[in-house]
Amino acid sequence: MNKFIHFLQTFSHLSQEAIAAVEQKLNYHSLPKNHELVSDTSKCNSIYFIEQGVARQLYYKESKEITDWFGFEGSVIGPVVRGYQPKNGPYSIQLLENTKLISIHFDDLQALFDRFHEIERVGRILAVHAIVVLQKRLDSIQFETAAERYENLLKEYPAITQRVPLGYIASYLGITQVTLSRIRADH
Amino acid sequence: MNKFIHFLQTFSHLSQEAIAAVEQKLNYHSLPKNHELVSDTSKCNSIYFIEQGVARQLYYKESKEITDWFGFEGSVIGPVVRGYQPKNGPYSIQLLENTKLISIHFDDLQALFDRFHEIERVGRILAVHAIVVLQKRLDSIQFETAAERYENLLKEYPAITQRVPLGYIASYLGITQVTLSRIRADH
DNA sequence: CGCCGAGTTGAACTGAATCAAGAAACGTGG
DNA sequence: CCACGTTTCTTGATTCAGTTCAACTCGGCG
């Protein structure tokens, strides 16, 4: 069974007809470590579901690299948010391991929203989930110390340190590499 | 013309039929300054559109009051986000002026989503807009100094200092009242 | 072998919090 | 309409988490 379809179904039930329509529009990719999935906002017009591997979304702020998001297996990555904010510089999505992805083009998604009320519903519920995730991240940046944020990240993704370089994790947590290194030293 | 319906239409077109169905479910309120609109998450099951006035959403974190959001005329306020996070303590919505509101109950909204694909669509687009707003706020907390955040808030709502006490603004910006006072002193 | 990126460690600095005490504004009752 | 108490705002001194700059270590790879 297609894992992406299964992922969508966890948000709201889909009919066989809707599932078949989605499946027709999916694209499958198997790409090597360090592949640059997207190199610029203007060119990115798909969302990606990660079947296997890790991807990292990043952008540049005053010529410094900011890691915005990690995508692990079973989650979605793509310019859902920053795509709407053109003032931000170009960003990209990099693969940190050999990765299997399933993508769907925005135009196809829009057409599916038009055709199927039930798919529009999944889209709405997904957006609300994203709101909750973002709100949690906002709270964590606003109220938790750097050490607490790191602890919580480890709770959620215990293997992250084996899969993602320290500097990327630090940037995701909104701190410098140096600070994260010190946090780890105080085991 | 109902301002709330007009607000919804800015996100996606609605048929006369859908508009009529929404209008049937709206409730109108005219409430005084300092009224406690909602006093606990568990009891709040509506979203509120502000026709006139200012409302403020807040919750308690370690017995300190956190101002989460301001609702000015033309915008929506309600437990859209924190309602999904029961671990947060009770929160409430207070009116900072005499305020005219239009509310709709979650159950009614859900029923409208079921009946009208086009309303579900407005719901999805609204959720995506909320994502963009939250992402901007996250960026501002993560990268801007307290002074920059205050500057930007003033740009967006020049009259806010006349309508909202300093302490609430500070809490919304994620800083203390003391710090905001100092920022203002350095004109 | 020597270089290079990733991570660690030290010293100095800074933005904002905290604690604490005043000053100004506000509202409620006499 | 004034007097008093309470809330709101300002200002000063101190502390702290995290940044910056810089030097150094370690492992891998051409």
Look-up of token digits 């994620």: B174
CA distance B78 to B93: 8
B chain contacts of residue A85, beta-carbon cutoff 8 Å: 132, 135-136
pLDDT at A85 over 90: no
pLDDT at A41 over 80: no
What pLDDT does A73 receive? Answer: 95
Least confident of A24-33, A159-168, B81-90, B126-135: B81-90
What pLDDT does A164 receive? Answer: 95
pLDDT tier for residue A37 given thresholds of 50, 70 and 90: confident
Asked if B133 reaches chain A (Cβ–Cβ under 8 Å), the answer is no
pLDDT tier for residue A6 given thresholds of 50, 70 and 90: very high
Question: What pTM was estimated for this model as a whole?
Answer: 0.92
CA distance A129 to A152: 19
Instruction: Please give the backbone phi and psi of residue B74, each rounded to the nearest 5 degrees, phi first.
Output: 90, 0
Neighbours of B53 (CB within 10 A): 20
Q: Which of A101, A79, A98 is nearest to A3 (CA)?
A: A101
CB distance A173 to A149 below 8 Å: yes
pLDDT tier for residue A120 given thresholds of 50, 70 and 90: very high
Residues forming beta bridges with residue A99, ordered by sequence position: A31
CB distance B51 to B100 below 8 Å: yes
Å from the A76 CA to the D26 C1': 36
pLDDT at A83 over 60: no
What percent of chain A shows pLDDT beyond 70? 90
B chain contacts of residue A143, beta-carbon cutoff 8 Å: 61
Look-up of token digits 């990268």: B143
Give B120→chain A minimum CA distance, Å: 6
Asked if A80 reaches chain B (Cβ–Cβ under 8 Å), the answer is yes
Q: Which of A67, A82, A70 is nearest to A171 (CA)?
A: A67
pLDDT at B76 over 70: yes
pLDDT at A100 over 60: yes
pLDDT at B78 over 80: yes
SS3 A73: coil
CB distance B105 to B78 below 8 Å: no
The structure tokens listed for B169 are: 């603004």
What's the mean pLDDT in B115-131? 95
Q: Which of A79, A91, A101, A92 is nearest to A32 (CA)?
A: A101
What's the mean pLDDT in B105-133? 95
pLDDT tier for residue B38 given thresholds of 50, 70 and 90: confident
CA distance A71 to A69: 7
Least confident of A84-98, A143-157, B155-169: A84-98
What pLDDT does A43 receive? Answer: 61
B chain contacts of residue A128, beta-carbon cutoff 8 Å: 80, 84, 127
Would you give the DSSP letter of residue B87? Answer: T
List C-alpha distances in Å: A113 to A11, A122, B139: 15, 9, 30
CB distance A48 to A75 below 8 Å: no
> What's the mean per-residue pLDDT of chain B?
90
What's the mean pLDDT in A13-18? 97
pLDDT at B20 over 60: yes
Beta strand pairing status for B99-105 and B46-52? antiparallel
Residue-wise pLDDT for A103-114, tens only, equals: 999 999 999 999
CA distance A160 to A152: 12
Residue A147 beta carbon within 7 A of nucleic strand D: yes
pLDDT tier for residue A64 given thresholds of 50, 70 and 90: confident
Asked if B13 reaches chain A (Cβ–Cβ under 8 Å), the answer is no
Residue-wise pLDDT for B39-59, tens only, equals: 555 566 889 999 999 999 998
Residue-wise pLDDT for B87-98, tens only, equals: 556 778 899 999
What pLDDT does A62 receive? Answer: 79
